[in-house]
Each structure stands twice: as structure tokens, then as C-alpha cells.
């Protein structure tokens, strides 16, 4: 009597579905010929349209859910499981764990316990991965060759272009942005002006700081299309190829804009007012009034002033009205000396070691997520059902069935106990937390101490300070 089997088909893209070499029909015909020879009755087909380099697949997951209804699963060839060796073995293991036999039309039954079958599968999966790598390399080389011949892989279609052609309605604003930058306007000032004038981006979105910075630095606007990338740390640009496209900004204007931007960031004023050695809690201090991350700054003493040392402090930058910000100024107008604040934080950490209640309230503790054991328990139930059916069909003796049943029930009980233990509430391990604080406080740098403890600090206008740590 023919055994019930399910057919699994996969193509990488929808265009391949009807392909004469890899399409669904070709796979189905090869599988049906094999099924007829081996006495398998194909009762259902599952088919995925997804690359073989991904392990998560909708129809494969559905097949695994329905596995109890079939005795075997059939594929047309090993590379239909995956194009990467690691994923191929992972998918094979998932299928075998359901209790089904796995057949491939190009090699027969895949049995990892059989030396020759395991070797055959391994060789075929390695060749499938090598073939995939050759295809990817050939496609990428084809794209590079196209760029070398003077044609972009994809015609420019960003702001300023439409279908590879310059769109003057937008290109005029690109040129205006570059002109503003050469005049000395910052990206922030350009954003403010564009939004004030009501110049929309594609889709009606407002302009942002990052979009303007990217636009001003993109060589595509001077007519240079780039494909690939220079390898990190080498700067040789060996993987980078370029070709010419219509230029929105002249190369001379583009280069002048780059010099103007570089002069602002490297020239008369520093790019940042923050001295990392003086501001160890930078980006860790929040304003309790508006929720913003507090800024850090240094006031240098004026010539002839009695105070000779610079004053380093944290403050909420939203106390000032700024272009591009339409909200009300923040009422938190206090300034916090960096050295004094750092000392207070250290003192508070010392106190936490002596007060368990305060330590528990100040610590963010997220117990490990419990493992979902439902699939494993369902799999044991399926194995018990198959063992019972094997006994009723005289495939297993009574002793063999009893031994298998006892083994599976022990596994199930162990999983249930583990599940119950996972569900029990987890308490903050105070001893470990104190040890972490003690070790972190040995560091000379407040920045290292804060890093080790995952420290954050919220400062309120009334003087309150909410210290939070995540040491575990």
C-alpha cells in the first residue's frame, strides 16, 4: 500500500516559478517520477517563494505544523532545502524531528545515521552553497561591468531625478541647498529654511537634518554614480566602480561645498563642545522636566577674570528657543557642575551597597524570558502517538513500546518541571548587584563606572535626582 507523503517545492523569486530549469513544474515532475518508483502517494504540496539563504519560510512552517498527517516529505533536490550548508542541516533536522522520512528525488532517503547518506547530503549541500556563491558573484560582476560601461545599475530616482532624468522642479532646490551651504549655512539652518518655505520632500514629508547632510555629501549630485564600496581599513576602493550620470550641481560647486562644510567642522569652532574626559556621564543624564538628554558644555574664563579654571557643566539645551523647534522652552534652567555631580553619583552608589531596599528600587532587573516549551511538548506528543501506532501495527513489540513510552514521558515530565520553574517569579540577586557596584566603583573614571553599571540619571528642577542602574 502506498505511503502518504507531502511535496515541498521552493523557488527564490516569483520570476523563477515558471523557469524551465528551476520552476515549480520542473520540481514537481522530478518528484512525481521518484514518488511513483518508491511507492509514495503525494497528498499535498507546500511551496515557498523565498531565497534559499533564509531559514524562516511560511509554507515550510505550515508543513512542520501538519507533519503528523504524513509519513514522508519529498523534495526534488537538496538545494531546494537551502542554498547555505548550515541552513540545509537545520531544516533537515526540523523535518526529521517530526518523525517523517525525508526523501530527495536526486539522492533517495536522507538518513543522517547512514554514513553514505550523510556524506552524500553534506557534499550536495556544500555544492549548493558554492553554486549560490558563484551566482551572486557573477551577478555582482555583471553589475560592475555595466557601471564600467557607463550605465548605472539602477537609474537615479532620488530627490532631483525622475526615471534617470533631472527633474528641474526639485533640482533647483538641490542647487539652492548647495549654495546656502557655500554661504556658510549649517545643515540645521538649511532644514529650517526649507521647512519655513514649505518645500516638501517626496511624499510630503518634512526635511530633516540627516537628509540634508546626506544630500550635501552625495557625489551623485555632481554626476558621479558609485556602485560597490571601498573595503574597510584599506581605502583602496578596489570594490568601488563609478560612471557618469547627469549632474545637478557642477563638480566645481560640489567641491566648493565640501570645502565649506569641512571648514565649519574643523576650523574656527570645534565640532563638539564636549570634552569626554570631563563629561563621564555624557548622554546618560536626562532632564526630568522635558525628558531630553542633557547637553554638556564648558565655560572658559574671560581674560582678567579671577576664576582661572574652566567650568564644566550639564544643562538642558531646550531652555533656549532654537530654529526648527516649535515647542515651548523647557523650564529646567539649572546648571549642574560636572565634577560635583560625578562625586554625588559615586556617593549615591556607595549608599546603595548599604541599603537593600534602595538598591532594589534603583535597579532595572529584567529576568530572562521564559523559554516557550509548547513546540517541544507537542513534538513529544506526536512521537508518543507514532510509537502507539507502531505498536498497534506490530512494528514495535510491547517491551519496545513500553521502553519508548517511558523515555518520552520522562522527557515530557522534565520539560513540565522546567516550565514550572521558569514561571516562578525571579527576585533581584542583591548579592550579585552589590558585587557589581563594588567592582565598578574601583574604576578611576566615572565613565567606566557608568558603563559597567548601565547607569542613567534623571535630574529635576526641584533638585531631585533619580539614579537607575542595570548592573546585571
- pLDDT tens digits, 230-244: 544 444 445 688 899
What angle, rounded to 10 degrees, do the helices at 251-266 and 209-217 form?
Answer: 130
Kind and range of the H or E element at 389? helix 374-392
Do the Cβ atoms of 79 and 49 come closer than 8 Å?
no
> What's the pLDDT at 270?
36
Counting DSSP H helices and E strands in the chain, the numbers are 14, 15
Q: How far is CA 452 from the centre of its chain?
A: 24
Q: What is the pLDDT along the chain (472 residues), one digit of tens a residue?
A: 678 899 999 887 776 766 666 678 888 999 999 999 988 999 999 988 876 555 567 888 888 888 888 899 999 888 888 878 888 888 888 888 888 899 999 889 998 888 888 888 888 888 888 887 888 888 888 888 899 899 998 899 889 998 889 999 999 999 999 999 998 888 888 998 998 898 888 888 889 888 999 999 999 999 999 887 654 444 444 568 889 999 999 999 999 999 888 876 544 333 344 456 788 998 899 999 999 999 888 876 655 555 567 788 999 988 865 544 556 788 998 999 999 999 999 999 999 988 888 888 888 766 556 667 777 778 888 888 888 887 787 777 888 888 888 888 888 887 777 767 655 555 667 888 899 999 999 988 899 999 889 899 999 999 899 999 988 7
DSSP secondary structure letter of residue 16: G
If we measure between CA atoms, which residue out of 435, 433, 439, 468 comes closest to residue 454?
468
Which three three-digit cell numbers place residue 134?
558563484
**Active-site hit among 12, 125, 296, 456:** 12
Helix (H, G, I), strand (E, B) or coil at 337: strand
Whole-number Å distance between alpha carbons of 54 and 241: 29
- The CATH number corresponding to 3-135 among 3.40.470.10, 3.90.940.20, 3.40.50.1390, 3.90.650.10 equals 3.40.50.1390
Kind and range of the H or E element at 7? strand 3-11
> What's the pLDDT at 326?
56
| DSSP of 124-162 | HHHHHHHHHHHHHHHHHHHHHHHHHTT--SS---STTEE
Does 362 participate in catalysis according to the annotation? no
CATH topology of domain 161-266: Hect, E3 ligase catalytic domain fold (3.90.1750)
Could you tell me the pTM of the whole model?
0.44
136-189 pLDDT, tens digit each: 888 888 888 899 899 998 899 889 998 889 999 999 999 999 999 998 888 888
If we measure between CA atoms, which residue out of 98, 97, 41 comes closest to residue 66?
98
Do the Cβ atoms of 315 and 375 come closer than 8 Å?
no
Whole-number Å distance between alpha carbons of 57 and 47: 10
Do the Cβ atoms of 67 and 97 come closer than 8 Å?
no
Q: How far is CA 169 from the centre of its chain?
A: 36
- Burial readout 5-36 (b: 16 or more C-beta within 10 A, e: otherwise): bbbbbbbbeeeeeeeeebebebbbebbbebbe
Amino acid at each position: 500500500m502506498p505511503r502518504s507523503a507531502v511535496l515541498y517545492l521552493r523557488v527564490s523569486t516569483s520570476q523563477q516559478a515558471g523557469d524551465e530549469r528551476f520552476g515549480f513544474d520542473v520540481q514537481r515532475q522530478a518528484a512525481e517520477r521518484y514518488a511513483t518508483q518508491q511507492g509514495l502517494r503525494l497528498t499535498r504540496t507546500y511551496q515557498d517563494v523565498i531565497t534559499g539563504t533564509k531559514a524562516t519560510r511560511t509554507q515550510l512552517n505550515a508543513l512542520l505544523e501538519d507533519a503528523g498527517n504524513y509519513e514522508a516529505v519529498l523534495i526534488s533536490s537538496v538545494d531546494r532545502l537551502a542554498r547555505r550548508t548550515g541552513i540545509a542541516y537545520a531544516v533537515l533536522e526540523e523535518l526529521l524531528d517530526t518523525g517523517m522520512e525525508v526523501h530527495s528525488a536526486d539522492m533517495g532517503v536522507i538518513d543522517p545515521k547512514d554514513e553514505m547518506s550523510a556524506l552524500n547530503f553534506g557534499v550536495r549541500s556544500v555544492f549548493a552553497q558554492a553554486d549560490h556563491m558563484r551566482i551572486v558573484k557573477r551577478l555582482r560582476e555583471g553589475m560592475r561591468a555595466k557601471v564600467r560601461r557607463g550605465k548605472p545599475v539602477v537609474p537615479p530616482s532620488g530627490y532631483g531625478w525622475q526615471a534617470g532624468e533631472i527633474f528641474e522642479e526639485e533640482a533647483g532646490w538641490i542647487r539652492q541647498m548647495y549654495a546656502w551651504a557655500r554661504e556658510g549655512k549649517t545643515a540645521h539652518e538649511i532644514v529650517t529654511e526649507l521647512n519655513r518655505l514649505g518645500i516638501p520632500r517626496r511624499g510630503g514629508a518634512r526635511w530633516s537634518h540627516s537628509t540634508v547632510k546626506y544630500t550635501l555629501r552625495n557625489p551623485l549630485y555632481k554626476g558621479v554614480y558609485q556602485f560597490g564600496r571601498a573595503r574597510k581599513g584599506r581605502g583602496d576602493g578596489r570594490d568601488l566602480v563609478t560612471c557618469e550620470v547627469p549632474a545637478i550641481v557642477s563638480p566645481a560647486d560640489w567641491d566648493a561645498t565640501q570645502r565649506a562644510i569641512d571648514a565649519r567642522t574643523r576650523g574656527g569652532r570645534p565640532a563638539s563642545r564636549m570634552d569626554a574626559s570631563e563629561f563621564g556621564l555624557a548622554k546618560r543624564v536626562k532632564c526630568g522636566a522635558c525628558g531630553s538628554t542633557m547637553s554638556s558644555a564648558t565655560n572658559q574664563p574671560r581674560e582678567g577674570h579671577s576664576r582661572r579654571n574652566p567650568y564644566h557643566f550639564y544643562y538642558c539645551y531646550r531652555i533656549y528657543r532654537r530654529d526648527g523647534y516649535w515647542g515651548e522652552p523647557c523650564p529646567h534652567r539649572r546648571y549642574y557642575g560636572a565634577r560635583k555631580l560625578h562625586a554625588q553619583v559615586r556617593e549615591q552608589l556607595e549608599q546603595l551597597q548599604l541599603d537593600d531596599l534602595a538598591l532594589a528600587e534603583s535597579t532595572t532587573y529584567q529576568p530572562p524570558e521564559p523559554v516557550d516549551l509548547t513546540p517541544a511538548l507537542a513534538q513529544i506528543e506526536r512521537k508518543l502517538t507514532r510509537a502507539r501506532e507502531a505498536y498497534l501495527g506490530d512494528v514495535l513489540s510491547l517491551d519496545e513500546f513500553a521502553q519508548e513510552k517511558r523515555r518520552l514521558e520522562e522527557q515530557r515530565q522534565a520539560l513540565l518541571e522546567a516550565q514550572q520553574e521558569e514561571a516562578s517569579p525571579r527576585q533581584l540577586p542583591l548579592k550579585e548587584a552589590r558585587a557589581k557596584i563594588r567592582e565598578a566603583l574601583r574604576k578611576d573614571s566615572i565613565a567606566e563606572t557608568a558603563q559597567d553599571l548601565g547607569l542613567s540619571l534623571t535630574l529635576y528642577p526641584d533638585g531631585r535626582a533619580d539614579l537607575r542602574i542595570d548592573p546585571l
